[in-house]
Amino acid sequence: LVMDNIRVYCQNARGLPTEHDAFYEGVTTSDFHVICITETWLTQTISSNKLFIDEYCVYRCDKDSTGS
Protein backbone atom coordinates (compact mmCIF):
# COMPACT_ATOMS: atom_id res chain seq x y z
CA LEU A 1 0.00 0.00 0.00
CA VAL A 2 1.49 3.31 -1.10
CA MET A 3 -0.11 6.55 -0.01
CA ASP A 4 1.06 10.05 -0.84
CA ASN A 5 -1.03 11.79 1.80
CA ILE A 6 -1.89 10.05 5.03
CA ARG A 7 -4.46 11.92 7.12
CA VAL A 8 -3.95 11.53 10.88
CA TYR A 9 -6.22 12.80 13.67
CA CYS A 10 -4.83 13.07 17.21
CA GLN A 11 -6.78 14.12 20.29
CA ASN A 12 -6.16 14.17 24.02
CA ALA A 13 -9.60 12.99 25.11
CA ARG A 14 -9.18 13.63 28.85
CA GLY A 15 -11.83 11.00 29.48
CA LEU A 16 -13.42 9.54 26.38
CA PRO A 17 -16.56 8.25 28.12
CA THR A 18 -17.50 11.82 29.05
CA GLU A 19 -16.08 13.48 25.91
CA HIS A 20 -17.50 11.03 23.35
CA ASP A 21 -19.60 13.60 21.44
CA ALA A 22 -16.64 15.93 20.84
CA PHE A 23 -14.47 13.01 19.76
CA TYR A 24 -17.09 11.61 17.40
CA GLU A 25 -17.68 15.02 15.80
CA GLY A 26 -13.96 15.46 15.24
CA VAL A 27 -13.35 12.12 13.55
CA THR A 28 -16.45 12.10 11.38
CA THR A 29 -15.89 15.52 9.83
CA SER A 30 -12.98 14.27 7.70
CA ASP A 31 -11.77 11.03 6.18
CA PHE A 32 -8.84 10.06 8.40
CA HIS A 33 -6.60 7.05 7.81
CA VAL A 34 -5.26 6.96 11.39
CA ILE A 35 -6.90 8.19 14.59
CA CYS A 36 -4.83 8.49 17.78
CA ILE A 37 -6.46 9.17 21.13
CA THR A 38 -4.55 9.76 24.36
CA GLU A 39 -5.83 9.84 27.94
CA THR A 40 -9.06 8.02 27.12
CA TRP A 41 -9.50 6.86 30.72
CA LEU A 42 -11.13 3.70 29.40
CA THR A 43 -11.33 0.47 31.36
CA GLN A 44 -11.97 -3.07 30.19
CA THR A 45 -15.63 -2.72 31.19
CA ILE A 46 -16.26 -0.30 28.29
CA SER A 47 -16.73 -2.00 24.93
CA SER A 48 -14.97 -0.58 21.86
CA ASN A 49 -18.05 -1.02 19.68
CA LYS A 50 -19.95 1.46 21.87
CA LEU A 51 -17.39 4.21 21.30
CA PHE A 52 -15.60 3.74 18.01
CA ILE A 53 -16.52 3.83 14.33
CA ASP A 54 -16.80 0.37 12.79
CA GLU A 55 -14.50 1.18 9.85
CA TYR A 56 -11.41 1.35 12.09
CA CYS A 57 -9.34 -1.29 13.85
CA VAL A 58 -9.12 -0.36 17.52
CA TYR A 59 -5.97 -0.95 19.58
CA ARG A 60 -6.33 -0.06 23.24
CA CYS A 61 -4.16 0.16 26.32
CA ASP A 62 -6.72 0.58 29.10
CA LYS A 63 -6.21 1.64 32.66
CA ASP A 64 -5.99 -1.20 35.12
CA SER A 65 -7.84 -1.36 38.42
CA THR A 66 -5.13 0.69 40.15
CA GLY A 67 -5.65 3.60 37.77
CA SER A 68 -2.31 3.34 35.98
Task: Give me the tens of pLDDT residue by residue for the chain, a chain 68 residues long.
Answer: 677 888 888 888 777 777 677 777 777 777 888 888 888 888 888 888 887 888 889 999 887 766 55
Query: What was the pLDDT predicted at 59?
Result: 92
Q: Which residues of 42-66 are buried (b: 16+ CB within 10 A; e: fewer)?
A: beeeeeeeebbeeeeeeeeeeeeee
Query: What was the pLDDT predicted at 44?
Result: 86
8 and 31 in contact (C-beta within 8 Å)? no
